[in-house]
C-alpha cells in the first residue's frame, strides 16, 4: 500500500507524474519538491517568449502553483533536496522556510537535464546564456532589447529556434555549429541542407563545421573566436551576447547518491514501468534512460512528449498501478524560417550507430495536386530496415503539412508497418488538401519495389 509519494522535480515529467498519481489514488499523500521557483511550465515554449509568439512568461505556466493544493498535492518550490536516505525512505530538503524532512513509500526522480557546457574558454562571462530555464528566457528577453550581435553556439533544435527568435527581433545572428550540418540529432544532411538554405536566405549567418573556441572580452563578450574545422581559418565574430546550446545531460547526482543505476546514455536506467533498480524508486523525463522503440537500445528522449508519457506511467506505478511505457520513437518537429521540419524514429545516422542496415525512399512531392493553386514542395524520406522491410524512421521538410504527416510514420513505426503496408496506406485526398498518392505512399513504393516485397 502506497501512502506517501515524493516527486523530485516539477517539469513536464514530474508534474505529470504527480497529477497521474493523484488521479490513480485519491488518498495517497503526494509531495513535489522543485528546485526552480516556478511551477510546471513549457520549456519548449521558451524561445517564443523572445519572438513574442508567446505573449507573457506567465502564459508558459501550465500548472499555476496555487492549483496543486486543490489536488491535495504539497508542492514546494525553490526547494532543494539535500539528502536522501533510501533505507529509511526519507528525504531532506532545504527551502525558503528552512530545512525539513519527508518520508516516502514511492520516490520519483524527475530531475530533468542541465546544459552540458562544452570546453570553450570564457563561458563564465556575463551575457553568456543557456536557453533551458524560465530565468534564462527572462534574461534573454532583455538581451533582445539591448544586444545587436548575438552568437549562438550550437545549431540543434534549441539553437535554431533561438536564432529565429533573435532574428525576428532584428539582431544580427550567427549560429556556430561544430558538425557539418545543423539539426543532425533530428535529420540527415540531405534534409538539413534544405533548412540551412532557408536560414541563410533569411539573413542569418550559419557557420557549419566550425568550432567555437573562446568567448572574447572582459566581463562580457566582445566576440566569439571560431575556427573552421576544414580550412583551419580563424575568425572573430562580434558578439554582445552569446547563447550556448550544445546539448544537455541528465541530472542524476541525487539518484546516484542512493545507488540508483545509471545507463550508458548517462540517464537513470528504468524498465517499462519507469522503475529503477531500487524498489519503490522511479524516474521519468529527461533524467531517465529508457529504450529506443525499434532497436530497444538504451535511449534518452529529451522530448516533452516523452516526458509527459513517462511521467504518466511513473506516476500511476508510484501510486500502486500497473502502466507501461512502450519505448521512445522520438518524433520531433519544429517550424523555422518558414519551413516545417519533422523527423521520427531512426535517422540514417542513428541507424548506423545502432547497426541497423536500412534502405530509404526519398521523394519530392507537392502538398496539393499540381492543378490546384498554391501547393508547396515537400521532401519526404522514409527509412526501412533492409532485412525485414520494416519502417524504422522518416523525415519531412517543407513549407507546410510536414509535421502532421510525420505522425503517420510514427504510428507506422509503432505498429510495425513495412514498406508494402505503408504503400497500401489510403491517404486522404481532396484538391484543396493533398493529392491521390501522398508522397508518404510513393516513398514506400520505391522501397517496396527495391526490396521485391
Catalytic residues: 44
Residues in the chain: 453
55 binds a copy of itself (CB under 8 A): yes
Q: Which is nearer to a copy of itself, 35 or 292 (CB)?
A: 292
Q: Which is nearer to a copy of itself, 270 or 434 (CB)?
A: 434
Q: How far is the CB of 369 from a copy of itself (least distance, A)?
A: 6
Q: How far is the CB of 23 from a copy of itself (least distance, A)?
A: 10
- Exactly one of 185, 411, 446, 453 binds a copy of itself (CB under 8 A); that residue is 411
138 binds a copy of itself (CB under 8 A): no
> Measured between alpha carbons, how far is residue 214 from residues 31, 206, 234, 238 in Å?
43, 18, 11, 12
Q: Which is nearer to a copy of itself, 200 or 449 (CB)?
A: 449
Residues 298 and 265 sit within 8 Å (Cβ to Cβ): yes
- Exactly one of 86, 194, 372, 450 binds a copy of itself (CB under 8 A); that residue is 372
Q: How far is the CB of 343 from a copy of itself (least distance, A)?
A: 9
Q: Quick one: which H or E segment has residue 69?
A: helix 67-70
Q: Which is nearer to a copy of itself, 91 or 409 (CB)?
A: 409
- Exactly one of 306, 319, 339, 383 binds a copy of itself (CB under 8 A); that residue is 306
- List Cβ neighbours of 9 (8 Å cut-off, separation of 6 or more): 32, 33, 34, 35, 109, 110, 111, 112, 285, 287
Q: How many Cα atoms occupy the beta-carbon half-sphere of 327 within 13 Å?
A: 16
289 binds a copy of itself (CB under 8 A): no
* Partners of 345 in the β-ladder: 393
Q: Which is nearer to a copy of itself, 133 or 149 (CB)?
A: 133
Is residue 122 exposed (0-12), middle (13-18) or buried (19+ Cβ within 10 Å)?
middle
The two beta strands, 4-8 and 29-33, are: parallel
Q: Quick one: which H or E segment has residue 224?
A: strand 223-228
Residues 411 and 421 sit within 8 Å (Cβ to Cβ): no
417 binds a copy of itself (CB under 8 A): yes
* Partners of 449 in the β-ladder: none
The three-class DSSP label of residue 1 is coil
- Exactly one of 118, 320, 369, 399 binds a copy of itself (CB under 8 A); that residue is 369
Q: Which is nearer to a copy of itself, 120 or 186 (CB)?
A: 186
344 binds a copy of itself (CB under 8 A): yes
How many residues touch a copy of itself under the rule CB under 8 A: the total is: 65
Task: Please tell me the distance from the alpha carbon of residue 320 to that of residue 51, in angstroms, as a whole number.
Answer: 43
316 binds a copy of itself (CB under 8 A): no
59 binds a copy of itself (CB under 8 A): yes
Retrieve residue 301's grid coordinates: 528522449
Task: Please tell me the distance from the alpha carbon of residue 26 to that of residue 23, in angstroms, as a whole number.
Answer: 6
Task: Please tell me the distance from the alpha carbon of residue 125 to that of residue 373, in angstroms, as a whole number.
Answer: 52
431 binds a copy of itself (CB under 8 A): yes
- Exactly one of 342, 346, 380, 392 binds a copy of itself (CB under 8 A); that residue is 342
Residue in the structure block whose three cell numbers are 562580434: 238
Q: Which is nearer to a copy of itself, 172 or 334 (CB)?
A: 334
The Cα angle at residue 296 between residues 43 and 252, in degrees rounded to 5 = 45
- Exactly one of 67, 198, 427, 442 binds a copy of itself (CB under 8 A); that residue is 427
Task: Please tell me the distance from the alpha carbon of residue 11 to that of residue 251, in angstroms, as a whole number.
Answer: 13
378 binds a copy of itself (CB under 8 A): no
Residues 287 and 112 sit within 8 Å (Cβ to Cβ): yes
11 to 50: interface string for a copy of itself, x by CB under 8 A:
-x-----------------------------x-xx--x--
Task: Please tell me the distance from the alpha carbon of residue 395 to that of residue 332, in angstroms, as a whole number.
Answer: 9
Q: How far is the CB of 393 from a copy of itself (least distance, A)?
A: 13
295 binds a copy of itself (CB under 8 A): no
First and final CA of the chain: distance in angstroms?
A: 52
Q: Which is nearer to a copy of itself, 259 or 326 (CB)?
A: 326
305 binds a copy of itself (CB under 8 A): yes
Binding site for a copy of itself (CB under 8 A): 12, 42, 44-45, 48, 52-55, 59-60, 62, 303-306, 308-309, 326, 328-335, 340, 342, 344, 369-374, 401, 403-408, 410-412, 414-415, 417, 421, 424-434, 436-438, 440
Amino acid at each position: 500500500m502506497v501512502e506517501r509519494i515524493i516527486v523530485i522535480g516539477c517539469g513536464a515529467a514530474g508534474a505529470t507524474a504527480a497529477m497521474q498519481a493523484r488521479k490513480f489514488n485519491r488518498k495517497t499523500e503526494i509531495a513535489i519538491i522543485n528546485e526552480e521557483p516556478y511551477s510546471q511550465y513549457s520549456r519548449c515554449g521558451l524561445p517564443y517568449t523572445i519572438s513574442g509568439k508567446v505573449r507573457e512568461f506567465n502564459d508558459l505556466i501550465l500548472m499555476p502553483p496555487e492549483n496543486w493544493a486543490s489536488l491535495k498535492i504539497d508542492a514546494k518550490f525553490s526547494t532543494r533536496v539535500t539528502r536522501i536516505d533510501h533505507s529509511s525512505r526519507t528525504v531532506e530538503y532545504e527551502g525558503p522556510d528552512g530545512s525539513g524532512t519527508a518520508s516516502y513509500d514511492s520516490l520519483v526522480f524527475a530531475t530533468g537535464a542541465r546544459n552540458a557546457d562544452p570546453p570553450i574558454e570564457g563561458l563564465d562571462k556575463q551575457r553568456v546564456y543557456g536557453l533551458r530555464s524560465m530565468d534564462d528566457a527572462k534574461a534573454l528577453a532583455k538581451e533582445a532589447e539591448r544586444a545587436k550581435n548575438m552568437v549562438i553556439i550550437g545549431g540543434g533544435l534549441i539553437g535554431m529556434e533561438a536564432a529565429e527568435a533573435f532574428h525576428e527581433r532584428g539582431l544580427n545572428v550567427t549560429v556556430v555549429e561544430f558538425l557539418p550540418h545543423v539539426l543532425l540529432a533530428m535529420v540527415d544532411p540531405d534534409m538539413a541542407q534544405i533548412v540551412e538554405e532557408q536560414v541563410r536566405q533569411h539573413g542569418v549567418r550559419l557557420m557549419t563545421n566550425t568550432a567555437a573556441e573562446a568567448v572574447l572580452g572582459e566581463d562580457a563578450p566582445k566576440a566569439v573566436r571560431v575556427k573552421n574545422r576544414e580550412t583551419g581559418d580563424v575568425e572573430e565574430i562580434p558578439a554582445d551576447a552569446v547563447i550556448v546550446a550544445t546539448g544537455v545531460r541528465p541530472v542524476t547526482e541525487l539518484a546516484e547518491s542512493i545507488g540508483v543505476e545509471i545507463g550508458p546514455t548517462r540517464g537513470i536506467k528504468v524498465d517499462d514501468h519507469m522503475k529503477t533498480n531500487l524498489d519503490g524508486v522511479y524516474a521519468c523525463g529527461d533524467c531517465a534512460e529508457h529504450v529506443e522503440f525499434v532497436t530497444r537500445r538504451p535511449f534518452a528522449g529529451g522530448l516533452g512528449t516523452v516526458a509527459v508519457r513517462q511521467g504518466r506511467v511513473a506516476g500511476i506505478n508510484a501510486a500502486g498501478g500497473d502502466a507501461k511505457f512502450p519505448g521512445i520513437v522520438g518524433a520531433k518537429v519544429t517550424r523555422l524560417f518558414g519551413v516545417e521540419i519533422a523527423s521520427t524514429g531512426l535517422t540514417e545516422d542513428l541507424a548506423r550507430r545502432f547497426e541497423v542496415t536500412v534502405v530509404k525512399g526519398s521523394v519530392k512531392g507537392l502538398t496539393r495536386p499540381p492543378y490546384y493553386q498554391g501547393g508547396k514542395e515537400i521532401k519526404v524520406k522514409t527509412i526501412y530496415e533492409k532485412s525485414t522491410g520494416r519502417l524504422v524512421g522518416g523525415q519531412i521538410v517543407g513549407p507546410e503539412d510536414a509535421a502532421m504527416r510525420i505522425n503517420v510514420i510514427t504510428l507506422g513505426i509503432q505498429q510495425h508497418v513495412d514498406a508494402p503496408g505503408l504503400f497500401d496506406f489510403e491517404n486522404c485526398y481532396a484538391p484543396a488538401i493533398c493529392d491521390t498518392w501522398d508522397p508518404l505512399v510513393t516513398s514506400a513504393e520505391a522501397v517496396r519495389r527495391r526490396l521485391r516485397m
